[in-house]
Amino acid sequence: MDKPFRILGLQQIAIGGADKERLRALWVDLLGLTVTGSFRSEPENVDEDICALGSGVSAVEVDLMQPIDADKKPAVHQTPLNHVGLWVDDLPAAVAWMSASGVRFAPGGIRRGAAGHDICFIHPKGNDEFPRGGEGVLIELVQAPADVIAAAARHAATAS
């Protein structure tokens, strides 16, 4: 079955910890990532710094997350590698096709994410109704902006 979308590359990784300042000490102070923004959401129980590794269309977002309340869910600090985000060229088509293929998505559907892109999450585990999941990994699908889609097309054209 032909897919009506393409996965273009790694968009982000999200790392959780009990103390965001300790994460910043490593990722920003020692490794040199640049903080590009922040996001706080009570319903998602998250206080995060949005960082960048690299620049331009090849930049990878690295989210440093701590829970607002460590005793509440979701527990963004457990496991420390919270999720992996992938650029996708047509998010609605990807979600429709994957759902029809038995992929289980986390509640919330397609919505605006912390960095301003439309997102949704593949659930880490399948169930009876939707048997395919992330095999233990939460996977965020992120609608790629036009410049990322164009860069991926240029790269694909030169690689062939």
pLDDT at 55: 86
User: pLDDT below 70 — which residues of the chain?
Assistant: 1
In a domain, 2, yes or no: no
Range of the domain at 103: 7-159
Task: Look at residue 54 in the predicted model and tell me its pLDDT.
Answer: 87
Q: Is 117 among the domain residues?
A: yes
Q: What is the pTM of this model?
A: 0.84
Is 1 contained in some domain?
A: no
3-class DSSP state for residue 110? Answer: coil
Starting at the earlier edge strand, list the strands of the sheet with 118-122.
34-41, 46-53, 60-66, 7-16, 81-88, 138-143, 118-122, 111-112
Residue 101 has phi, psi (to 5 degrees) of -95, 10
In this prediction, residue 97 carries a pLDDT of 95
- What's the CATH number where 20 sits? 3.10.180.10
pLDDT of residue 1: 63
Q: How many domains does the chain have?
A: 1
Distance CA 147, CA 155 (A): 12
Domain membership of residue 40 (yes or no) is: yes
Q: Is residue 79 part of a domain?
A: yes
Whole-number pLDDT of residue 20: 93
Q: Is residue 72 part of a domain?
A: yes
